[in-house]
Amino acid sequence: MQDQINLSSARARKARLARRIGSFGYKLTFTIGLLLLAGFIALYAGKDIHYAYLSLAVALICLIFSLWYKRDLSNIPTKDGDLTDRLSADVLSRLSQKTAPTH
Q: What is the tens place of the pLDDT at every residue in 12-28?
A: 888 888 888 999 999 99
Integer Cα distance of 71 and 88 in angstroms: 17
Write the DSSP string, 7-56.
TTSHHHHHHHHHHHHHHHHHHHHHHHHHHHHHHHHHHHHTT-HHHHHHHH
pLDDT of the residue at 66: 96
pLDDT of the residue at 15: 86
pLDDT of the residue at 62: 97
Query: How does the average pLDDT of the chain come out, rounded?
Result: 85
pLDDT of the residue at 51: 96
